[in-house]
Amino acid sequence: MCCESKISGLDALVAFCESVGAKRASEWPPTEETLAQEFVEHFNLHGMASLNELKEFCASSAIILRIESLSKSLWGYNRRYQDKREILISETQLLTKEHTLLHELRELIEYEFRDLGMPICTHADREERAERFAFSVRMHAFGRHIPGLMDCLDSIESTWRRRVAHVLSFLFIMVYLAGLLLSPRLEEIMEQRRGRQPRLRG
Amino acid sequence: MVKFGTYLRNLRKQKGLTLKQVEKTARVSNSFLSQVERGVRNPPRADILNRLAVVYSVSVHDLLEAAGYVTVKPGEMQERERVERAYQHAITDPGYSQGTRMKGQTLSIEDKRFIVRLYEEATGQRVLKED
């Protein structure tokens, strides 16, 4: 994933929000899918949105990222105070650190929209929207790979090899998308099981 | 301690919900809820409190305590109220924006204490003062 916004640091998120505000003013508020698409295009994100790549994005956008032990009920936490933006991610997550990071990022973005007088979320739908945004960003970032992948597959000369490659690629895409969709639920189930495991006596 | 009805109304207002919205999500009659909030009726049964706890994002234990179904030691109650006050301060400070991704629907008093600590760390304010 690359982060090639022309503006870096603190102003990068503000510039993004201003750009979306101007572009989508006639259809405000945008859906999370639209916002995610704008986000991916604005920051030129592409790839699997791995944790290291997202860390790189945070560093370039002056967002402090901490992965550490959080309170029992929290997967993630975000805060903005004066010019400081920070995201805290629970280190116990196995599958959803990236998802949680994008969820918290969405809430940081909302603060900027609020400052611009263009809030998108209400108190009631904030969490649900952040969840949809997190999923959509990863889907759109991944989707940008697909045309290149198809071109690559089409260049295979042998017909049967090309067909096999298409089938395998299709399966991989389906598994990846299912993984994106199901990972938050799987993480919850794993967390519940961790909570139920009896403690060893010393 | 704040009266149960007032406590319940404050929780609803903090969430920005109307009685009708609570009726729909918690499956509790809005007229009944209105009477409870005004102190005309006694606190609801535990199963109703359980549903309200989910809607208001508080622990069911907090509601049971407020309703008088569960008693806690005086010192413990004082500590809970102290953390709750500090937490309310942190989440309503207009200069401080914060959000969470939660594992469940509610925050325990320990989670709230953790959030208050993060607030104190960022702002340099000491809101979790000893009484």
3-state SS, residue B100? strand
CA distances A193 to A83, B100, B103, Å, are 40, 22, 13
Using N-to-C axis directions, what is the helix angle for A32-42 and A10-23, rounded to 10°?
A: 130
Q: How many domains does chain B have?
A: 2
Closest CA to B56 of B97, B101, B7: B7
Distance from C-alpha of A47 to C-alpha of A91, rounded to nearest angstrom: 23
Distance from C-alpha of A147 to C-alpha of A128, rounded to nearest angstrom: 30
Q: What is the mean pLDDT of residues A169-181?
A: 91
3-state SS, residue A65? strand
Kindly state the tokens that stand for A30: 């945008």
Nearest to A73 among B16, B99, B108 (CB): B108
- Torsion, Cα of B11, A132, A17, A41 (10° steps): 170
Q: Give the per-residue pLDDT at B74.
A: 67
Q: What is the mean pLDDT of residues A45-69?
A: 88
Same domain, B63 and B92: no
Same domain, B88 and B48: no
Distance from C-alpha of A181 to C-alpha of A45, rounded to nearest angstrom: 19
3-state SS, residue B85? helix
Nearest to B118 among A77, A124, A191 (CB): A77
Q: Tell me whether 0.90 is exceeded by the ipTM.
A: no
Indicate whether B130 belongs to any domain. Answer: no
Q: Is residue A98 very low, low, confident or very high in pLDDT (cuts 50, 70, 90)?
A: very high
Q: What is the mean pLDDT of residues A103-130?
A: 93
Same domain, B92 and B113: yes
Distance from C-alpha of A49 to C-alpha of A2, rounded to nearest angstrom: 9
Residue A154 CB burial class (10 angstroms; 0-12, 13-18, ≥19): exposed
Same domain, B63 and B98: no
Question: Average per-residue pLDDT in chain B?
Answer: 88
Q: Give the per-residue pLDDT at A86.
A: 96
Span A4-40, pLDDT tens digits: 544 556 688 999 999 999 999 999 999 999 999 999 9
Q: Give the per-residue pLDDT at A15.
A: 92
In this structure, chain A runs to a length of: 202
DSSP B26-58: H---HHHHHHHHTTSSPPPPHHHHHHHHHHHTS
Kindly state the tokens that stand for B65: 């305590």
Please calculate the CA angle B84-B42-B10 and round it to the nearest 5 degrees: 30
* Domain that residue B89 falls in: 74-123
Span B75-97, pLDDT tens digits: 777 788 889 999 999 999 999 99
Same domain, B53 and B84: no
Q: Which of B42, B67, B92 is the last residue of a domain?
A: B67
Same domain, B58 and B92: no
- CA-nearest residue of chain A to B90? A79
Same domain, B63 and B14: yes
Q: Which of B40, B67, B94 is the last residue of a domain?
A: B67
Same domain, B59 and B81: no
Please calculate the CA angle B87-B56-B8 and round it to the nearest 5 degrees: 85
Q: Which of B24, B41, B67 is the last residue of a domain?
A: B67
The full set of domains in chain A, from first to last, is 10-143 (1.10.10)
Indicate whether B129 belongs to any domain. Answer: no
- In this model, does residue A197 exceed pLDDT 80? no
Q: Compute CA A172 distance to the chain's CA centroid, rounded to the nearest angstrom.
A: 20
Question: Average per-residue pLDDT in chain A?
Answer: 88
* CATH code for the domain in which residue B45 is found: 1.10.260.40
Ordered per-residue pLDDT tens for chain B, 131 residues: 458 999 999 899 888 899 999 999 899 999 999 999 999 999 999 899 989 998 888 888 888 888 888 877 767 777 888 899 999 999 999 999 999 999 877 788 899 999 999 999 999 999 887 65
CB contact under 8 A, A81 and B97: yes
Q: Compute CA A191 distance to the chain's CA centroid, rounded to the nearest angstrom.
A: 21
Between positions 85 and 104 of A, the ones with CB within 8 A of B are: 86, 88, 100, 103-104
Between positions 61 and 90 of B, the ones with CB within 8 A of A are: none
